[in-house]
């Protein structure tokens, strides 16, 4: 709903966070992406900062305002970041550009988790595997024809009391355009594309060994009682426990993925 | 049976990108090329926490596919892993390309990828015996010698057995299939 509102005055929307009770990593990374998109279109969004001090402090602590820098107006000065009692539960916002840097950034995130959850090797492996595949999808698929766009890939991991939340997103060409490079999948709409990719392992490559990573991630998340959300174009895919659904969302470029794994899995 | 061993952990403990996989592929191919005919290269996965499908496809599956295509005759490849979980994505990628590979897990072995039931039955019998000729296999499995011979040829193409020519007592040449793993490993 918020995106629909913002889009009416794109690229100079009013982003009202004043009554936010929580900003999760999906919203956080999406905001960075959205501000970037506004900035590229010559706009500068106005942000009403959260009234709740803890929410604002969390937002400041994530480094969000360093990412959006001069690209936004805020209704009041941004407070300085204060040290928190939490032991680094947020990975920081990470830029995903070239394939070369991906292994290092996944190791950084997972090594920190391994220190905190020494018995969580299996679950950290699940998270690492998903992160490796999702992150490399950005250099491989977000701009496959090398168009004049910046996919601006981003990732983050947040630890909550009951789950670990991984977010990887970009504002590239999206699944529909990428998949249409394979003649077999040309002409599918966004919901059909999500179904083909997530349930049937469709890929833009005709090589049988390529693609299928999102389907595999869906299966692994399901097997580990996790939750998955994938958004691309005008469609969103939800999976929680055995329930899944594909529905319409407000159009947005690129692919945005959210994975939540139960913290109990990590020991 | 390990004539030479390559540890993939030298590339990191969480292996995921195709780029890194290509580097590993080059190393494995180089090792296979320098291996004398009839020998086995073991890819050791110990020390790894993650082996993603993309890395596995580039590093291992593409090498198996080249061997299946007839390159480097007489060289064999298998993987050895501390636990099954590490092999799931590799097995899925092999299956997608219609390939099969031996995996040593703990003190046992299993076949990764896709192998039809009749070939799996044949392979189990050969591993148990260590070696077999077509007539021996035909008799044991109650199939024709021609059928047994076809099965051995298929397994040899997949680099799951080695076919060694030998003289027949009645004249001519026959082939003896030898398992590339030892029967000590339980299937």
The CATH label, of 1.10.3720.10, 3.40.50.920, 1.10.10.10, 1.20.120.1770, for the domain at B115-187 is: 1.10.10.10
Please state, in angstroms and rounded to a whole number, the distance separating the CA atoms of residues A50 and A189. Answer: 37
Are both A21 and A123 inside the same structural domain?
no
Indicate which of B16, B94, B98 best probes the interface with A, i.e. most A CBs within 10 Å of its own CB.
B16
**A170 and A216: one domain?**
yes
Q: Are residues A181 and A67 in the same domain?
A: no
Which H or E element spans position B125?
helix B117-129
What tokens appear for B166 in the block?
């030998």
To probe the interface with B, which of A108, A132, A211 has the most B CB atoms within 10 Å? A132
Which residue, A78, A107, A132, sits at the end of a domain?
A: A78
Rounded-to-integer distance, Cα A169 and Cα A137, Å: 10
Q: Are residues A164 and A228 in the same domain?
A: yes
Same domain? A155 vs A49: no
Inspect the interface and report whether the beta carbons of A140 and B53 lie closer than 8 Å: no
Contact list in B for residue A99 (CB cut-off 8 A) is 17-19
Domain presence at residue A84: no
DSSP reduced 3-state for B38: coil
Instruction: Say if the Cβ atoms of A216 and B14 lie within 8 Å.
Output: no
3-state secondary structure of A233: strand
Residue A117's pLDDT band (cuts 50, 70, 90):
confident
pLDDT of A87 higher than 70: no
User: Do A220 and A246 belong to one domain?
Assistant: yes
If pLDDT is split at 50, 70 and 90, which confidence band does B106 have?
Answer: confident
Nearest to A125 among B50, B57, B62 (CB): B50
Of the residues A78, A113, A140, which one is the last residue of a structural domain?
A: A78
A69 — pLDDT class (breaks 50, 70, 90):
confident
Answer yes or no: do A66 and A94 share one domain. no
Confidence label for B96 from pLDDT (cuts 50, 70 and 90):
very high
Residue A85 has pLDDT above 70, yes or no: no
Residue extents of the structural domains in chain B: 1-114, 115-187
Does A85 reside within a domain? no
A127 and A8 in a common domain = no
Q: Does A258 have pLDDT greater than 60?
A: yes
Mean pLDDT of all residues belonging to chain A: 93
The predicted complex's ipTM stands at 0.87
Claim to verify: residue A30 and residue A94 sit in the same structural domain: no
Residue that has been written with the tokens 């703990």 in this structure? B106
CB of A95 within 8 Å of a chain B CB? The answer is no
For B73-92, write each residue's pLDDT tens digit: 999 999 999 999 999 999 99
pLDDT at B172: 83
| pLDDT score, position A120 | 86
Query: Which residue is listed with tokens 């050791």?
Result: B44
Q: Closest by alpha carbon to A251, among A230, A223, A232?
A: A232
Where is the domain boundary, A25, A49, A78? Answer: A78
User: Does A83 map to a domain?
Assistant: no
Can you give the residue range of the structural domain that contains A109? 90-267
Q: Calculate how close chain A gets to B14, using CA atoms only, in Å.
A: 7
Per the structure, the count of domains in chain A is: 2
At residue A218 the predicted structure's pLDDT band, cuts being 50, 70 and 90, is very high
3-state class of A244 per DSSP? strand
Nearest to A181 by CA among A193, A169, A171: A193
Give the residue, B67 or B167, on which the prediction is more confident. B67
Angle at B24 between CA B95 and CA B109, to 5 degrees: 45
Mean pLDDT of B151-173: 91
From A155, A147, A150, A206, select the one nearest A181 (Cα to Cα).
A206
Q: Identify the pLDDT of residue B37.
A: 93
Chain B nearest C-alpha distance from A82 (Å): 34
The arithmetic mean of pLDDT across residues A202-224, rounded, is: 92
Q: Quick check: B95 pLDDT over 80?
A: yes
The pLDDT value given to residue A73: 97
pLDDT of residue A118: 84
B1-114 topology per CATH: Transcription Regulator spoIIAA (3.30.750)
Nearest by CB: B97 against A128, A208, A216 = A208
| DSSP reduced 3-state for A200 | helix
DSSP string across A111-154? HHHHHH-TT-HHHHHHHHHHHHHHHHHHHHHSSTT--S----EE
Query: Would you place residue B27 in the very low, low, confident or very high pLDDT band (cuts 50, 70, 90)?
Result: very high
Please tell me the pTM assigned to this model: 0.91
* pLDDT at residue number A83: 76
If phi over 0 gives left and psi between -120 and 50 gives alpha, with beta otherwise, what is residue A69?
left
The two tokens of residue B75 are: 């060289």
Task: Kindly state whether residues A40 and A117 are assigned to the same domain.
Answer: no
CA-to-CA distance for A143 and A137, rounded, in angstroms?
Answer: 10
Residue B156: exposed, middle, or buried by beta-carbon count in 10 A (0-12, 13-18, 19+)? middle
Is the same domain home to A94 and A43?
no
Q: What is the mean pLDDT of residues A18-40?
A: 96
Same domain, A226 and A101: yes
Is A162 within the bounds of a domain?
yes
In a domain, A33, yes or no: yes
A81: confidence class by pLDDT, cuts 50, 70, 90: confident
């Amino acid at each position: 709903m918020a995106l629909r509102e913002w889009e009416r005055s794109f690229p100079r929307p009013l982003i009202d966070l004043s009554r936010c009770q929580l900003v999760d990593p999906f919203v956080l990374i999406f905001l960075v992406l959205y501000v970037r998109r506004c900035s590229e279109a010559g706009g500068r969004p106005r942000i009403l900062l959260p009234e709740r001090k803890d929410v604002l402090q969390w937002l400041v602590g994530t480094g969000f305002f360093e990412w959006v820098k001069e690209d936004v107006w805020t209704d009041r000065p941004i407070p300085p970041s204060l040290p928190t009692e939490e032991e680094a539960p947020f990975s920081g916002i990470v830029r995903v550009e070239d394939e070369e840097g991906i292994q290092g950034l996944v190791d950084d995130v997972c090594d920190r988790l391994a220190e905190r959850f020494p018995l969580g090797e299996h679950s950290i492996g699940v998270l690492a595997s998903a992160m490796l595949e999702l992150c490399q999808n950005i250099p491989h698929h977000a701009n496959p024809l090398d168009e004049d766009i910046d996919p601006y890939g981003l990732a983050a991991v947040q630890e909550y009391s009951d789950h670990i939340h991984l977010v990887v997103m970009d504002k590239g060409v999206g699944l529909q355009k990428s998949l249409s490079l394979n003649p077999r999948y040309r002409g599918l709409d966004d919901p059909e594309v999500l179904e083909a990719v997530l349930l049937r392992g469709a890929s833009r490559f005709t090589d049988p060994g390529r693609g299928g990573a999102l389907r595999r991630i869906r299966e692994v998340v399901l097997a580990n009682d996790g939750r998955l959300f994938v958004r691309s174009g005008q469609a969103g895919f939800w999976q929680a426990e055995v329930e899944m659904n594909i529905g319409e969302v407000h159009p947005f470029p690129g692919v945005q993925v959210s994975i939540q794994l139960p913290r109990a899995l990590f020991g | 049976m390990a004539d030479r061993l390559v540890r993939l952990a030298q590339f990191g403990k969480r292996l995921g990108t195709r780029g890194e996989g290509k580097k590993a592929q080059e190393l494995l191919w180089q090792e296979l090329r320098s291996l004398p005919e009839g020998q086995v290269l073991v890819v050791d996965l110990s020390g790894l926490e993650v082996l993603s499908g993309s890395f596995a496809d580039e590093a291992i599956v593409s090498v198996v596919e080249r061997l299946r295509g007839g390159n480097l005759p007489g060289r064999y490849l298998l993987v050895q892993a501390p636990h099954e979980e590490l092999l799931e994505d590799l097995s899925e990628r092999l299956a997608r390309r219609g390939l099969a590979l031996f995996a040593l897990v703990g003190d046992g072995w299993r076949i990764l990828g896709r192998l039809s039931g009749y070939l799996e039955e044949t392979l189990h019998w050969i591993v148990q015996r260590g070696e077999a000729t077509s007539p021996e296999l035909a008799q044991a499995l109650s199939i024709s010698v021609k059928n047994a011979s076809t099965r051995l040829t298929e397994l040899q193409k997949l680099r799951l057995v080695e076919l060694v020519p030998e003289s027949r007592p009645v004249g001519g040449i026959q082939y003896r299939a030898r398992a590339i793993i030892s029967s000590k490993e339980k299937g």
